[in-house]
Amino acid sequence: MRNFIYIFLGGGLGSVMRFLISNYTQKLWHINAFPMGTFVVNISGCFLIGILSAYFLKIDSSLKYLLITGICGGYTTFSTFSAENFSLWQNGNYSILILYALLSLLVGLLMVFLGFQMVKN
């Protein structure tokens, strides 16, 4: 039951963090039609989950439910990412759609790898 509480609390905190960081980033770096706020949240979330995953391979702790499942799960925004890609497609912004999808995937994978490597070594 404690793990469910950790997930619940972490998910709420991660969602609030996503909202604040995404909105602030989008206002700060408004680039025409490119969803920069979601991009920054997704990339930083990938990096964070890489670090946490590598760390919790070394130790077994209930905190992984709070930090990985809860906070990272609430913080990352893949569903929003998918909806924004669909919107770009609907609006005919194909070049931005391709750029956004590829950058998110490639840089996200790279950040998970880098985060994992930082803690693993």
Helices 36-58 and 94-120, axial angle in degrees (round to 10): 20
Mapped onto helix, strand or coil, the DSSP state of residue 77 is coil
Q: Which residues are annotated as a binding site?
A: 73, 76
CA–CA separation, 54 vs 50, rounded Å? 6
> Which residue's structure tokens are 């913080």?
75
Q: Which residues are annotated as a binding site for Na(+)?
A: 73, 76
| 87, two tokens | 């919107």
